[in-house]
Amino acid sequence: ARKDYVFSMNRKRIWAIDVGLIESFNESAKASSPNEFASAMREENGVLTELVFLPGSIGSFTSATVPLHMLPIDFSLAGTVHSHPGYSNRPSDEDLHLFGSFGKVHIITCMPYDITSWRSYDKDGNEIKLEIVDI
Ligand code: ZN
């Protein structure tokens, strides 16, 4: 399927996240509160570097609302980030379904949206550790 092609061709391991990206998604999450914020993320040499806003994903990131067939092919798209407007960054059943659909790394951030508010997960919903780097 096209959606697998878009997100899975790049097989490099994701090992780190840029601190600027953490600030970006937390700022966006705060701005969207009390609604959810959702975005894709780009990686460079195994480091998550920036947000990539997908058409149709404003306020929600269910597989039903993100028109993956409209995306340009972009091998640097590594996964997704979204916010929970509460104090849990654990994935919901719906999140696990999304994680399994595409991408390698999925981040959930929650209130109070600070440097420790987020967790990262693999496509099966297992927590993975990412180093924080400043590039
Ligand atoms: Zn969620």
Kindly report, residue by residue over 47-66, the tens digit of the pLDDT.
Answer: 999 998 776 555 455 544 55
How far is residue 48's CA from residue 129's CA, in Å, rounded to a whole number?
Answer: 13
Residue 71 has pLDDT above 80, yes or no: no
The pLDDT-based confidence of 27 (bands split at 50, 70, 90) is very high
pLDDT value for 69:
53
How far is residue 74's CA from residue 32's CA, in Å, rounded to a whole number?
Answer: 26
pTM: 0.83
Rounded to the nearest angstrom, the distance between the alpha carbon of 113 and the centre of ligand 1 is 14
Rounded to the nearest angstrom, the distance between the alpha carbon of 135 and the centre of ligand 1 is 28
Percent of the chain scoring above 70 in pLDDT = 76
Give the strand pairing for 127-128 and 131-133.
Answer: unpaired
How far is residue 83's CA from residue 28's CA, in Å, rounded to a whole number?
Answer: 9
Rounded to the nearest angstrom, the distance between the alpha carbon of 62 and the centre of ligand 1 is 9
2: which 2 tokens? Answer: 């096209």
